[in-house]
Structure 1
């Protein structure tokens, strides 16, 4: 008897587990659908959906049946959802129904009242032409060529007829503008089913889906060729949040810190390297630095230090007296002590900002370092700033430890450089046997002025410089 029980014990247990899985686990994996509400099979056609709804409504209209409010709302919701071709496609393929909250909302509004009082339709379609907000659309044919680009891609999955996508459209345009130059952006409509399915996540049942519906933002890092390396954004759909996440997590760009009026001097100006230009952004909104600004902070870290300040009207007189800043947005370049700040007011794009960074990355009297020696034309192993064909050029170098005396000499060098660069201020330059050749050399970029920090660098490490005698020019002062 005992052996018989043992023989049947395992099959009984397995059978019980199979029944439990079939009765409780599987139904949860396949919850009732809106097709079930209408009493028809899944993925029925629009015609079949309409026919099923009309059968129900004819009974209601004739008074044969009086549906409960919640039943009517669910049936009507299913009808409207499944007779809209775009909504039906999104629901059938990706399980997207962004207006599901309507059922609970309408039920609460009309609870205890007749279903005939419910205002129809329940669902509202997007109010604008879908094409108005689409740019840089990506199709399945375009997708392979994206892998050839070395920059990362930020892709928005969207749907025509989606109110959420319409609301996000202006944010997306701004995001694409801010990422211009540091990343690629594109849009994929869910109608590109093959491509959208590739970019979607998968439920345990195998159905593709987007965790937060659409719009959904997905990153294809540089070199990514499979769905395994896709990176999904699940945060707040705001310009600031999306661009900050992309710049930090995808591009690995440094953040630029905000300072107050009180902390800017102590924590930024005093602690930044004395050899670097100080770049201060004034923001009227408090938004974080744009990706192209952060890219510049990374590219120019050896030349400049960066800070942000939130503009407040009550502090406007202070900033005017300190940096000549009238309003925000603005950007200030602080160079050596005694040199007037360079100020630019107004918004700027990537191209404009890159240009002014390149123009102002050096101090007025540039510092000679291994990083800058070739660029300044102060390395005999390189070439003159005038070009590769120039056989002889000059580099005047002021070397010393940081001290009041060095600052004074740097000021003198700056004055010499400024006067030689400005024909209008140099009276009689053509008649001065000493200054005329210097003026010509400066204009032709064969003469460079620079200073060297003797504390941080050994003079002996700067090899074979051509020197120009400064003493004769100093006689002008």
Structure 2
């Protein structure tokens, strides 16, 4: 009985007991660790004491242990000496008073292990040497006056908060310069000294008690993502202070740039070259250090995602023969461009900077024979909605298109058109230089004038456009899914013509009055006329050039019908990559929310009022439960009458139910009794001696 009583009592008081236990943990363990004894308390002075007052207090303490009148333990002596050195240095004292920075506190613990039980006369003073770190080691210093000018462009802003009195900042100076060089033209980089108190306070973290701190000390790195101009979207770096990790954090978290993966000799072919998009240029970067891709390379991978795929390979001397035979690479660093199948790789040597890397990517983003795609149709001049490569004033231009499914036959024909393109370019250059030995063909002149473009079309991916060009019985050998082993690439030429007179007229668009006018509305019809001719000759280059020249001569000289039609749209080859779905200009909402929750929880745990508040809540809960359990159990007259009435109602209800049961049983017995007094009816069984009279046809006997 006693055990059950104790158990019920504990169960009733479980909540206040838990609150009391948690409050004791905060008071005895958490709060002392988060709020250690102040260095001012060690010296016995006020927290707002000046350097002179600190020196006087230290002088009094030192007299006591120097004269031997007072024996001071080693640990206490080291604490006093360290507190004096910290608070007598103007920079250290400023950082400690304003932001609680104490980066040399570990020195006391190390010296305590060394000098415990040893002769203190061998103690070398000072305990901490001041670091010489001056303005010469800084660059792009940000102050309260020029802070807003850093947001004039749309780039991200990376700031290092530092102190001239910090040895960690002095050691980090060279790494910070390296980070700034890597992030050049990708993000703005600056430095803010803790002496800029108002600006440093805005960049610091604020606790519940109103104290501004940098949890990991200085140097502290903060970043404003592109489009962010307030501290609400400020991001803080929490990690190792190395060049690689800091730049990777900026590129991934702040700028949202994709990563460029490293591949080995086994995975490069299987996972990159074989599975890569056939319409993209392959860019392989050979590195001799194994470092991550720089932010400007990752930015180029994002900007040129629709044109090129990127990969990293770690250069190893024992694999020299492999890479030389595959790509012609002799050393690293090197950048290799793989364009059309069977084409010799293009190799660039030397370390890459931002401008040079952007230049070579822009120059090699297209294949040698460009592909007709949704992204390139306007630039190539092969779209009826666009214009010629020669300019908007050209009324007639041409596009030579090789259509076919991806296959060896298509690769051979692409090589043929590349050779044709080189021959025409050579003819055009010779004619422009004044050589009259051989007159250039009409096709060469049109190519030089940018009125002719050579391109190829993926007949399977762009099957609607392919069928539009090849309206023949054998078009399935070229367009659509492969239904047979036969793959027959075909060459067509499209002639585009614009009616400048019609385009110059400002015709007001009227609302259709009926269905017929709506059906006749040609708002979606392309303004340029498009006539297509298919080549049926041999695939010898001279024959193709002769045919193209004849088409251009007829198209330029003859008045052909102005035929306009709705051309099927080109289908985009790639969907948006995963990294482009997130926010690119600001840190994602989920990441910002996680960071805010982490800051709130950390600040909450560091609040010294948590322990007393929990203790107060525990006592209030205990008192409430005690009063409730010890309240006298008496009932009012109205409550007694209510209980009586409820009992009477329940009794009457039970009586009614029993009466209903009796009535039902009586009715059941009456139904089951035999009906003896009822005479037989015509539905009774027929007697054995019954006779049926025969019927006649007549109604009389």
Q: TM-score range by the shorter chain?
A: 0.7 to 0.9
Alignment correspondent of 1:432: 438
SS at match of 2:311: strand
Q: In the aligned structure 2, how far is the partner of 1:408 from the partner of 1:334?
A: 17
Once the two structures are TM-superposed, the CA of residue 51 in structure 1 deviates from its matched residue by: 1.6
Q: Does structure 1 retain, via aligned residues, the 8 Å contact 2:157–2:189?
A: yes
Once the two structures are TM-superposed, the CA of residue 465 in structure 1 deviates from its matched residue by: 5.7
* TM-score of the superposed pair, with normalisation by structure 1: 0.88
Aligned match for 2:81, one of 52, 72, 76 = 76
Q: In the aligned structure 1, how far is the partner of 2:391 from the partner of 2:279?
A: 27
**Given the alignment of the two structures, is residue 239 of structure 1 paired with residue 282 of structure 2, yes or no?**
no
User: What whole-Å deviation, never above 9, does each CA across 1:295-319 have from its counterpart, x for those lacking one?
Assistant: 1111111111111111111112211
Query: What is the Cα-based RMSD across aligned positions, in Å?
Result: 3.0
SS at match of 1:218: strand
Aligned match for 1:362, one of 361, 366, 376 = 366
Alignment correspondent of 1:203: 207
Aligned match for 1:62, one of 29, 42, 67 = 67
SS at match of 1:97: coil
SS at match of 1:142: coil
Q: In the aligned structure 1, how far is the partner of 2:443 from the partner of 2:170?
A: 63
Aligned match for 1:410, one of 395, 406, 414 = 414
Pairwise mapping of residues 23-38 of structure 1 onto structure 2 (< 5 A)?
30-38=35-43
**Given the alignment of the two structures, is residue 102 of structure 1 paired with residue 104 of structure 2, yes or no?**
no
Once the two structures are TM-superposed, the CA of residue 84 in structure 1 deviates from its matched residue by: 1.4
- Equivalences, count: 459
Q: In the aligned structure 2, how far is the partner of 1:434 from the partner of 1:29?
A: 86
Mean CA deviation greater in 108-117 or 223-232: 223-232
Shift in CA distance, 327/29, structure 1 to aligned 2, threshold 3 Å: closer
Q: In the aligned structure 2, how far is the partner of 1:430 from the partner of 1:438?
A: 17
User: What whole-Å deviation, never above 9, does each CA across 1:290-344 have from its counterpart, x for those lacking one?
Assistant: 1111111111111111111111111122111211112222111001122111111
Q: Does structure 2 retain, via aligned residues, the 8 Å contact 1:46–1:83?
A: yes
Pairwise mapping of residues 110-125 of structure 1 onto structure 2 (< 5 A)?
110-125=115-130
User: What whole-Å deviation, never above 9, does each CA across 1:427-464 have from its counterpart, x for those lacking one?
Assistant: 997443453x4444444433322111111112339975
SS at match of 2:319: helix
Pairwise mapping of residues 251-270 of structure 1 onto structure 2 (< 5 A)?
251-270=255-274
Alignment correspondent of 1:168: 172
SS at match of 1:344: strand
Q: What are structure 1's unaligned runs of at least 5 residues?
A: 1-15
Alignment correspondent of 1:6: none
**Given the alignment of the two structures, is residue 126 of structure 1 paired with residue 131 of structure 2, yes or no?**
yes
Shift in CA distance, 381/169, structure 1 to aligned 2, threshold 3 Å: same
User: What whole-Å deviation, never above 9, does each CA across 1:325-364 have from its counterpart, x for those lacking one?
Assistant: 1222211100112211111111111111111110000011
Q: In the aligned structure 1, how far is the partner of 2:427 from the partner of 2:165?
A: 65
* TM-score of the superposed pair, with normalisation by structure 2: 0.61
Q: Does structure 1 retain, via aligned residues, the 8 Å contact 2:443–2:545?
A: no
Alignment correspondent of 1:291: 295
**Higher RCO (CA 8 Å, separation ≥ 6 residues):** 2
Compare CA radii of gyration and give the structure with the larger one.
2
Q: In the aligned structure 2, how far is the partner of 1:350 from the partner of 1:321?
A: 29
Once the two structures are TM-superposed, the CA of residue 20 in structure 1 deviates from its matched residue by: 8.6
Q: In the aligned structure 2, how far is the partner of 1:409 from the partner of 1:394?
A: 19
User: What whole-Å deviation, never above 9, does each CA across 1:382-425 have from its counterpart, x for those lacking one?
Assistant: 23333344444432221122222221111011112223334699
Alignment correspondent of 2:314: 310
Q: Does structure 1 retain, via aligned residues, the 8 Å contact 2:206–2:212?
A: yes
Shift in CA distance, 121/29, structure 1 to aligned 2, threshold 3 Å: closer
Aligned match for 1:187, one of 179, 187, 191 = 191
Alignment correspondent of 2:591: none
Shift in CA distance, 107/444, structure 1 to aligned 2, threshold 3 Å: farther
Q: What are structure 2's unaligned runs of at least 5 residues?
A: 1-19, 470-493, 495-525, 536-540, 548-701
SS at match of 2:146: helix
Q: In the aligned structure 2, how far is the partner of 1:234 from the partner of 1:22?
A: 26
